[in-house]
Amino acid sequence: MGKKFSKAIILSCILLQGCSAVAQISEQDSLIPREVIFDLNDRKELIQLSPNASTIFYVKGAYQSIPDNRIYYRSIAQLQKESFFGFSGAVGSYEVLNQAQLLVRTLSPKGQRIELFDIEDSISTPIIAELYRSIRWLSFTKNKDAAAFVAMPFNAPPLLFTYNFNTKQMDTLSNVAQGHYPLFFDENLKVIAGEKIDQETGNKILAFYEKEQWNEMATYEWSAERFLRPGLKSIVGVSADGKVVYFTDNSNTDKTVLKSFNISSKQSKVLVNEQSSDLMPKSFIADSEGKAVAIANHYANRKWKVMDSRYKSDFQFLNEKFQDFQVLDVSNDFKYWLIEEMNGGANISYLYDIKHKTIKKLFSDHDVLATYSTVNRFYSTVSSYDGLQLPVQYYLSEKFDKNKDGIPDKKMPAIVYVHGGPWQGWMEDFWLITRHLQLLADRGYLVVYSQFRGALTYGKNFLDAGNEEWGDGMMKDKVAIAHWLAATKNVEKDKIGIFGWSYGGYAALAGAAFSPETFACAVSLYGPTYLDAPRDENAFGYSPNSLVRIADVTTEKGLELAHQHSPLYAVDKIKIPILMSTGVKDDRVPQMQMDKMADALHKHNKEVTYFVYPQEGHDYSAKESWTSFWSIAEPFLSKHLGALAEPKSNEDYSILEMKYPITH
């Protein structure tokens, strides 16, 4: 093991995998090229609306290791014309202050700084000369002529301060903060509320600031849950007049609720009760006075709970137009909303006019995808083996679903995608994840983004149901999803694969080991394979959370459970072909976890393909890594499941090391 194969041998290996089974691709079946899907240069992100709703702003390439140094803009009246402003450093974030100014956080190898950009003169001026390790704004005055900032100098303690863009006056907030962070402000940048971790007890304190004193609003005892869901007991906003604080809370409920706290009366009340899943703190919408309007929870798709009756008809209108959407920005007068239709692919931005109840399409955030067949996303729930309801999304290309009803026109193969974590939430619209599902759906698979017990954001009971169930109940959930696909979605029951990375990489191997009759093949990236590993081979398994959720490997009983749930020790049960890959620099799941599994599979004469990327860590970052990975994985899946595969192109195989080429 470990021999570095030549590029020619690797290419031959790939061809051997796929030449006998790759379906013929006709012109009508034009596939989205890997180069397109993994090119981040064109993708629009950080989309904002000007205060008067006349202009739309955005950046491109935000997911790249070095973001673009431009902010793009289009007039609502002339959407076809794209212009941009350039900066000396990469654009990390920005804020549209008014019609004449932008506030921009620029990045360089030497540090970060905040610049004030004059739109008319195209002049950018640093508001502070110093460079910081990191700096960002926390809040603005109502007319955005001043802001509060937090900065991390290179050789000094963190700084909290306000800065007036007109007078250039900077005032420190460090004496006010007294260890509270983040801070929340009224419309005049007066500190109103904050959060603090008690250094002795570990308790989290939500507090309000009154008469130059901090006062407790709510206190939560330390829990390992905080590392999983830090936003579920948190302040989400303050009214513009500073009289009311809004916060999420699940201290006495299974799922989060939204509460308000009146500083004058010192009373709190519930504004939104428990929904089907936890409320999303970042979805909280307030009007121009800072009063609560709506908040969403995510159960397969977003479901909006409206608190202000004046806007119920608006959300009803938007719900009728879109299966899933979010509000990205609003105009200063709250009469225009920037809406993004979420579909897991090329999301579409719209301008919504409240007065006239009309929507105007602005653009797609990934224009190049519009030239290919659309991959649609659908939403459903699956009942697991014990009745637990699992929210799922699934992707299906219109090439294989002409009437767009979510049912393939003909029997087709499917892939169950398993996300990482498994304590991961609200990642269903993260392009760095969903682009893989887009690729697979485009190739001719029905692709499920699965949820399962132990996953975050569906309440405490759903999370706790996964305790010590990695190789049992959590796997049975994936099996239930596979059975649901075969029973209801016109999927070939013997052509279902399982694919994932990190925890999902473990789950793919566990599916092969513990449910070989369910899945036809497995694709596993950088997943743990033996859960009873010593600390230096599986450090995360010894965290307080892992000892509860996976197995307490500090005890004999826990070690026995970890051994029982480890795919490495069940290699003899595996009957399906497996493709594995990992990064040599992975500091989350050490390479030896995957090495030992691949060695064991090879020793037992199982069908295994295994290759590593010497320059990658946990989660591949380079475009070339993903294009080369899928150029190998596509023919592997095509051979064993039968869908399409894009022919090899100009992939760079010198960046990978093939440990076990396929030999069957």
Do 517 and 602 lie in a common domain?
yes
pLDDT class for 22, splitting at 50, 70, 90? very low
Domain assignment present for residue 107? The answer is yes
H/E stretch holding 69: none
Domain assignment present for residue 14? The answer is yes
Question: pLDDT, tens digit, for every residue of 252-296?
Answer: 999 999 999 999 999 999 999 999 999 999 999 999 999 999 999
As given in the structure block, the two tokens for residue 12 are 């031959």
- Give the span between the Cα atoms of 432 and 619, in whole angstroms: 10
Domain assignment present for residue 265? The answer is no
Do 166 and 17 lie in a common domain?
no
pLDDT class for 23, splitting at 50, 70, 90? very low
The values of phi and psi at residue 528, to 5°, are: -70, 145
346 pLDDT above the threshold of 70: yes
- Give the span between the Cα atoms of 239 and 2, in whole angstroms: 61
Do 461 and 384 lie in a common domain?
yes
Do 15 and 123 lie in a common domain?
no
582 pLDDT above the threshold of 60: yes
Least reliable range by pLDDT among 19-33, 301-315, 485-499, 570-584? 19-33
Q: What three-state secondary structure class fits 12?
A: helix
Do 510 and 586 lie in a common domain?
yes
11 pLDDT above the threshold of 70: no
- The whole-model pTM stands at 0.93
Place of tokens 């989660």: 619
Do 512 and 638 lie in a common domain?
yes
Do 645 and 513 lie in a common domain?
yes
What is the bridge-based pairing of β-strands 183-185 and 170-172? unpaired
- Give the span between the Cα atoms of 548 and 290, in whole angstroms: 40
Question: pLDDT, tens digit, for every residue of 129-188?
Answer: 899 999 999 999 999 999 999 999 999 999 999 999 999 999 999 889 999 999 999 999
CB 247 within 8 A of CB 218: yes
Q: Rounded to a whole number, what is the largest CA-CA distance in the chain?
A: 77
Tell me what pLDDT residue 5 has: 45
Do 136 and 17 lie in a common domain?
no
Domain assignment present for residue 206? The answer is no
Domain stop point among 127, 152, 172: 172
Tell me what pLDDT residue 662 has: 64
Domain assignment present for residue 80? The answer is yes
- Give the span between the Cα atoms of 375 and 642, in whole angstroms: 19
Least reliable range by pLDDT among 7-21, 181-195, 522-536? 7-21
Domain stop point among 172, 193, 226: 172
- Give the span between the Cα atoms of 133 and 561, in whole angstroms: 44
Do 56 and 18 lie in a common domain?
no
The pairs formed by 145-148 with CB atoms below 8 angstroms and a separation of 24 or more are 145/97, 146/189, 147/95, 147/103, 147/189, 148/173, 148/183, 148/185, 148/189
CATH number for the domain spanning 427: value is 3.40.50.1820
pLDDT class for 16, splitting at 50, 70, 90? very low
Higher pLDDT, 294 or 6: 294
CATH number for the domain spanning 77: value is 2.130.10.120
How many domains is the chain built from? 2
Question: pLDDT, tens digit, for every residue of 363-407?
Answer: 999 999 988 999 999 999 999 999 999 999 999 999 999 999 999
Tell me what pLDDT residue 18 has: 42
Tell me what pLDDT residue 29 has: 59
Domain assignment present for residue 222? The answer is no
Do 506 and 450 lie in a common domain?
yes
Distance of CA 134 to the CA centre of its chain: 22
Do 450 and 599 lie in a common domain?
yes
Domain assignment present for residue 455? The answer is yes
Mean pLDDT score across all residues of the chain: 92
Tell me what pLDDT residue 21 has: 34
- Give the span between the Cα atoms of 512 and 507, in whole angstroms: 8
Q: Which residue stretches of 327-378 are H helix? A: none
H/E stretch holding 574: none
What is the bridge-based pairing of β-strands 285-286 and 336-341? unpaired
The values of phi and psi at residue 368, to 5°, are: -65, -30
pLDDT class for 664, splitting at 50, 70, 90? very low
Domain assignment present for residue 341? The answer is no
Residue 291 backbone zone (phi > 0: left; psi -120 to 50: alpha; other: beta): beta
- Going by the DSSP 8-state scheme, the letter that residue 132 receives in this structure is B
Do 514 and 414 lie in a common domain?
yes
Cα angle value 199/205/210 (rounded, 5°): 115
Domain stop point among 150, 172, 194: 172
24 pLDDT above the threshold of 60: no
- Give the span between the Cα atoms of 467 and 41, in whole angstroms: 41
Tell me which residue range forms the domain holding 651. 7-22+32-38+372-530+566-660
